[in-house]
């Protein structure tokens, strides 16, 4: 059993939790994910790792309450226990000194981006961070990310904070300004990653995206998380979750992520939670 | 007295009823029937059945005790060689093993060895399993990776020898394929739990949520234990590699069966994992896993469930009993048919499969006649779900995590005649070493590995 040690509400439907799972904390690296199951009847859901504390043996997750399990997770309190918490799964990010890197986080995608930014900074990169959200209440980890960023930008769709518009606007400007960008990390909604990847492809600017498709086991067994990368089937759980953004078939990923939409709605209705 | 030529029939759930539930299909023999069936055994001298058993069960001996009504003694003889008799008594391919070599085949049907094994295991479980004798502790420790048939057998045997055993399991439940793969109606999960409880009563500890290669490495296990056994199975699904395979509604057999069996999607939304089949399901492949998929699809509400296979019934790898049960339940067999493309609607959901008719040509490397497409014979079948059950490859997680572990052509771990991998002290058995095979072969490998490990650790200093 894995107790919840801390819980924080980051915005209306986004929550942060620190879970005590020493064996995961010990091995966790930026870019990896965990799978959790709340109770005996629960489903297994993947969540990317936001942070970890090897001394305290805790792993931090941030999740948006979008389906039955994340909504149920949101109702749990400090001291409650999760039945299963497995990881770290997937391959870690390729952290090295590239020179100048741009890290783009969209909405809750900012969460897994945070440790990547921190590690990129620690090895000496010039880190430019761009955080985007629909409005300012949905922004997260601003201070934490600022601390490890050499340049820092915010965009909101409604202009309630920072640049009014999209993360891709800022990226375009950086490119136009002639910044010597070596690599881009883009983590967020599939549509955001697609837009960023389409933009950087024009400039042959290497772009890493982190995918979060529907999974069951997380060990390469079920293939539910398969994505098409460079025309080939890859499993996000063992070959990813990070992939070359220029090779990912985002349209197929969007369709596959809607696979159980109807069932999810039904489950939420029965459980009395709004979707 | 003349020997009865046929096995005593197995009472079963009516096919019309059982396709609406997940309860086990055969009910099992009564005590009286079991004893009568045991009496059919002529106790021949050369014991071909035992020779054909991968775990070397003393079959004539347990049958002799059963025929004499000594049921407890019969159970004892059986369990001295197999740690999972209730499982073997249900899913073993007896017709190719013990029963396939039975002397009675010269007269008619073999002794129903599988059914007798099942009877004994069930009888004991209902009565309350006798606490096993524990050997004197040796002070040696072994880590077993994977709580499937190979790992559990290896763990059980090593524990009986007095070693301390910890099993590291990636999932949240024990049993491996017994839990995620084989459906409830063929192997009730309660039985898997009971068999696992027995192994735990030997002193074996199982740690869940431990993905070896990720949460802990093989090297770390080697540092802590005297030896390591890897039984991580063949978990990586194979694909047809045809257009449309990523459409919504196309599942690997593993995903479909894991959702339904292990995550209990048939009880959605009370259990939270969803799985839908729609009205028409098509399963590709014709092994036991394919039969499981097609029959599960019916129970999940499909009105029609196809098996689509490119060869003929003669070449199907599934056990006769599974094919027979599938036919009884109304599974539609589309033979000499091969899929060429999955077709989706505008929302990316599968709506049909385009197929081509085949004919059989000359035998290929496997000795089976090679299927050849017939030109201009393409046609479509409207389907809501496609289940790809054309086999699995060894799970790459552990091999990839330690480069000293050498793999072979199909990604299986290279082992020597003692089941030792290329890393001294690390042994492997079951599908991870052989490629996808059967539960009983994995158990046999677990058993042989336990002997090798015992020899290895007793000849060196304890950790």
Phi and psi angles of residue B133, each rounded to the nearest 5 degrees, phi first: -75, 140
Residue A222: list chain B partners with CB under 8 A. Answer: 237, 252, 254-255, 258-259
The total number of structural domains that make up chain B: 3
Gap from B160 CA to chain A (nearest CA, Å)? 29
- Edge-to-edge strand order for the sheet containing B426-428? B205-207, B164-168, B141-145, B227-230, B426-428
Strands (E), chain A: 2-11, 14-20, 33-37, 45-53, 58-64, 81-82, 84-89, 100-106, 126-133, 151-156, 163-164, 181-187, 207-210, 226-229, 232-235, 242-244
The answer to whether residue B204 is domain-embedded is yes
Quickly name the fold that domain A100-256 has.
Rossmann fold (3.40.50)
Q: What is the pLDDT of residue B1?
A: 54
Gap from B213 CA to chain A (nearest CA, Å)? 10
Q: What is the pLDDT of residue A275?
A: 40
* Range B204-221 burial, b when 16+ CB lie within 10 A, else e: bebebbbbbbbbbebeeb
Domain at B276, CATH number = 3.50.50.60
Note whether A121 and A127 are within 8 A (CB). yes
Cβ–Cβ of B214/A221 closer than 8 Å?
no
Q: B153 and B30 in one domain? A: no
Q: What is the pLDDT of residue B137?
A: 93
- The Cα B280–Cα A185 span in angstroms is 42
- The Cα B271–Cα B149 span in angstroms is 26
Token pair 């609607």 is found at: B345
Phi and psi angles of residue B462, each rounded to the nearest 5 degrees, phi first: -70, 155
**For A43, which of B209, B272, B395 is closest by C-beta distance?**
B272
Note whether B393 and B419 are within 8 A (CB). no
Is residue A250 less than 8 Å (CB to CB) from chain B? Answer: no
Closest to B237 measured CA to CA, from B69, B27, B392, B423: B392
Q: B188 and B269 in one domain? A: no
Question: Which residues of chain B, if any, have pLDDT below 50?
Answer: none
Note whether B92 and B439 are within 8 A (CB). yes
Q: B406 and B352 in one domain? A: no
Q: What is the pLDDT of residue B369?
A: 85
Residue A83: list chain B partners with CB under 8 A. Answer: 172
Q: What is the pLDDT of residue B271?
A: 87
Domain at B101, CATH number = 1.10.1060.10
Q: B245 and B227 in one domain? A: no
Half-sphere exposure of residue A213: CA atoms within 13 angstroms, side-chain side: 34
The answer to whether residue B42 is domain-embedded is yes
The full set of domain ranges for chain A reads 2-89, 100-256
Gap from A258 CA to chain B (nearest CA, Å)? 8
Q: B285 and B221 in one domain? A: no
Q: B196 and B82 in one domain? A: no
- The Cα A185–Cα A105 span in angstroms is 8
Distances (CA, A) of B149 to B88, B156, B213, B217, B230: 10, 10, 20, 22, 12
Domain A2-89 belongs to what architecture? Beta Barrel (2.40)
Q: What does each of the 275 residues of chain A score in pLDDT, given as a tens digit?
A: 999 999 999 888 899 999 999 999 999 999 999 999 999 999 999 999 999 999 999 999 999 998 889 999 999 999 999 999 999 999 999 999 999 999 999 988 999 999 999 999 999 999 999 999 999 988 999 999 999 999 999 999 999 999 999 999 999 999 999 999 999 999 999 999 999 999 999 999 999 999 988 889 999 999 999 999 999 899 989 999 999 999 999 988 888 887 887 777 777 666 555 44
Q: What is the pLDDT of residue A150?
A: 96
**For B209, which of A43, A84, A262 is closest by C-beta distance?**
A84
- The Cα A247–Cα A243 span in angstroms is 8
Q: What's the domain range around B359? A: 239-388
Q: What is the pLDDT of residue A274?
A: 46
Tally A–B CB contacts below 8 A: 122
């Amino acid at each position: 059993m894995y107790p919840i040690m801390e819980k924080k509400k980051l915005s209306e439907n986004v929550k942060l939790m620190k879970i005590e799972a020493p064996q995961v904390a010990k091995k966790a690296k930026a870019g990896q994910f965990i799978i959790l199951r709340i109770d005996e009847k629960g489903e297994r859901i993947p969540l990317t790792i936001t942070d970890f504390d090897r001394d305290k043996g805790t792993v931090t997750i941030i999740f948006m309450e979008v389906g039955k399990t994340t909504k149920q997770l949101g109702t749990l309190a400090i001291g409650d226990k999760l039945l299963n918490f497995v990881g770290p799964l997937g391959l870690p990010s390729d952290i090295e000194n590239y020179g100048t890197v741009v890290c783009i986080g969209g909405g809750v995608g900012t969460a897994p981006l945070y440790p990547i930014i921190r590690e990129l900074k620690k090895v000496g990169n010039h880190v430019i961070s761009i955080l985007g959200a629909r409005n300012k209440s949905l922004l997260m980890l601003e201070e934490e990310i600022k601390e490890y960023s050499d340049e820092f930008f915010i965009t909101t769709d409604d202009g309630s904070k920072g640049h009014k518009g999209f993360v891709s606007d800022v990226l375009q400007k950086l490119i136009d300004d002639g910044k010597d960008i070596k690599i881009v990390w883009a983590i967020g909604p599939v549509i955001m990653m697609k837009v960023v990847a389409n933009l950087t492809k024009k400039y042959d600017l290497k772009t890493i995206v982190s995918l979060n498709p529907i999974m069951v086991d997380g060990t390469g067994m079920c293939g539910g998380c398969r994505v098409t990368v460079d025309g080939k089937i890859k499993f996000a759980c063992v070959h990813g979750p990070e992939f070359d953004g220029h090779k990912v078939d985002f349209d197929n990923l969007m369709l596959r992520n809607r696979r159980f939409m109807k069932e999810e709605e039904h489950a939420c209705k029965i459980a009395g939670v709004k979707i | 007295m003349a020997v009865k030529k046929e096995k005593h029939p197995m009472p079963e759930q009516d096919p019309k009823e059982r396709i609406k539930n997940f309860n086990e299909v055969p009910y099992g023999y009564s005590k009286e029937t079991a004893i009568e069936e045991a009496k059919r055994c002529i106790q021949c001298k050369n014991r071909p059945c035992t020779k054909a058993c991968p775990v070397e069960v003393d079959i004539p001996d347990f049958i002799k005790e059963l025929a004499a009504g000594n049921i407890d003694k019969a159970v004892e003889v059986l369990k001295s060689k197999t740690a999972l008799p209730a499982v073997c008594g249900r899913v073993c391919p007896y017709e190719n093993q013990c029963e396939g070599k039975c002397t009675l085949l010269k007269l008619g049907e073999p002794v129903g060895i599988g059914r007798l094994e099942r009877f004994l295991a069930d009888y004991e479980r209902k009565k309350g399993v006798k606490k096993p004798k524990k050997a004197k502790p040796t002070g040696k420790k072994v880590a077993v990776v994977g709580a499937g048939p190979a790992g559990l057998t290896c763990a059980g045997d090593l524990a009986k020898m007095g070693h301390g055993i910890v099993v590291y399991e990636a999932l949240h439940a024990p049993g491996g394929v017994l839990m995620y793969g084989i459906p409830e109606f063929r192997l009730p999960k309660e039985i898997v739990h009971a068999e696992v409880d027995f192994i735990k009563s030997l002193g074996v500890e199982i740690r869940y949520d431990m993905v070896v290669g990720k949460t802990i490495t093989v090297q770390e296990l080697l540092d802590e234990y005297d030896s390591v056994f890897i039984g991580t199975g063949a978990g990586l699904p194979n694909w047809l590699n045809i257009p449309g395979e990523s459409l919504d509604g196309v599942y690997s057999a593993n995903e479909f069966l894991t959702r339904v069996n292990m995550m209990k999607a048939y009880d959605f939304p009370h259990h939270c994992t969803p799985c839908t089949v729609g009205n028409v399901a098509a399963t590709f492949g014709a092994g036991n896993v394919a039969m499981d998929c097609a029959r599960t699809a019916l129970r999940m509400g499909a009105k029609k469930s196809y098996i689509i296979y490119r060869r003929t019934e003669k070449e199907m790898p599934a056990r006769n009993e599974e094919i027979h049960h599938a036919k009884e339940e109304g599974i539609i067999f589309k033979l000499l048919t091969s899929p060429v493309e999955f077709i989706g609607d505008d929302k990316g959901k599968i709506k049909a499969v385009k197929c081509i008719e085949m004919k059989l040509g000359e035998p290929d490397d496997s000795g089976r006649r090679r299927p050849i497409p017939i030109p201009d014979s393409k046609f479509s079948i409207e389907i809501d779900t496609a289940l790809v059950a054309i086999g699995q490859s060894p799970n790459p997680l552990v091999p990839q995590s330690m480069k000293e572990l050498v793999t072979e052509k199909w990604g299986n771990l290279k082992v020597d005649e003692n089941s030792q991998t290329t890393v001294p002290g690390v042994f492997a058995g079951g599908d991870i070493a052989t490629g996808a095979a059967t539960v009983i072969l994995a158990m046999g490998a677990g058993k042989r590995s336990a002997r090798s490990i015992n020899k290895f650790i007793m000849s060196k200093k304890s950790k």
